[in-house]
Amino acid sequence: MDRKEYEKRVDFKKLPEHIAIIMDGNGRWANRKFMPRTMGHKAGMEALHRTVETCAEIKIPVLSVYAFSTENWKRPAEEVNYLMQLLVEYIDKEIAELHRNNIKIMITGDYASLPVECIKSIEKALKRTKDNTGMIFNIALNYGSRREIVKAVNSIAEKISKGEIEPGNIDEDLISSLLYTHDIPDPDLLIRTAGEMRISNFMLWQIAYTELFITPLLWPDFDRDALMQAIWSFQQRERRFGGLK
């Protein structure tokens, strides 16, 4: 099917409630064009703008994107510094439009460990959009799912030591309530670009029954047609959550 045809076939009354995206391939995109990796990240920001705009337009309730992982600190310092600068640039450039479109920004991860300039931009965006009632735009920053789960386990251990809960009362709801994402539903659809077949420590608890869509497109090339293809693919699946229909 031609990529342009998917949007015509999408049922806009049965959209996923929460779409999560692992944005991958910026560096490869730049390498193929004989450009510095930084240019790939810059182009990736443009793809992000398109995706947020489309998701808000078609009224996806929650969009989560994996922007910077706890493992990304292993990259060269020059690239990490550029990514931090790009984060500030993106927020400062996009915040007015996001707010105008009633989009609420949410941060998943330990953003307090980022550079001061990043923290200031993030907190300004959080404050400005906190009362918005449209799409939740959840940005995973300095995020690692294993660290998130360890944090939840430590919180439970502290509650037990204080006598606030009994060990026998630990259940899935309690753990979920202690994750960064406790205020939003688990993803229905997880999209990963660049053809990579792995989760990369992203929302391991939350994606237990999430539908996966892997596209060979590099993230800077991801566009409205690609998003519609992913949504259409999601709508063709029978979600049984371990049961039978």
Q: Which tokens in the block code for residue 243?
A: 């049961």
Q: What are the φ and ψ backbone dihedral angles of 232, each rounded to 5 degrees?
A: -60, -45
Is 24 among the residues known to form the active site?
Answer: yes
For 14, the 3-state DSSP assignment is coil
For the question of residue 81 being annotated catalytic, the response is: no
Q: Single out the residue of 133, 74, 72, 128 nearest to residue 96, CA to CA.
A: 128
Check 72, 101, 132, 201 and give the catalytic one: 72
* Amino acid at the residue 128: R
Quote the CA–CA distance of 166 and 178 in Å, as a whole number: 16
Assign 130 to helix, strand or coil. Answer: coil
Task: Give yes or no for a contact between 195 and 156, defined as CB atoms under 8 angstroms apart.
Answer: no
In order of 153, 219, 225, the CA distances from 48 in angstroms are 33, 9, 14
Of the candidates 10, 86, 24, 1, the one whose C-alpha atom is nearest the C-alpha of residue 54 is 10
Q: Report which secondary-structure segment, H or E, holds 192.
A: strand 189-192
Which position among 2, 11, 24, 131 bears the catalytic label? 24
Which among 1, 12, 85 has a CA at the least distance from the CA of 54? 12
Neighbouring residues of 16: CB distance < 8 A, sequence distance ≥ 6: 60, 187, 188, 189, 211, 231, 234
Rounded to whole angstroms, the Cα distance separating 185 from 209 reads 12
Residues noted as catalytic: 24, 72
